[in-house]
Amino acid sequence: MGFNTLVILGAWYLWKHRNAGVFEGSLPSVQVLLNNLKHEAQLWTFAGACGLKVLALGRLLGLS
């Protein structure tokens, strides 16, 4: 369940990052994308998406 959540979250933020580049003229940045993904994953975890914490990626995203 946590993996599915992470995939959906990742796809959503990749889409938002792409749209910011196309419509707002911002430069693509992997670091900005990962920071935004980390912040949103933390919010999802606080809201009850406990499956994200279970993943080994939780430490990478700073969710542990």
Q: Is the pLDDT of residue 17 over 80?
A: yes
Q: Is the pLDDT of residue 61 over 70?
A: no
pLDDT tens track for 32-55: 888 888 888 888 888 877 777 766
Has residue 57 got a pLDDT over 60?
no
- Asked if residue 33 lies in contact with residue 17, where contact means CB atoms within 8 angstroms, the answer is yes
Average pLDDT, the chain: 81
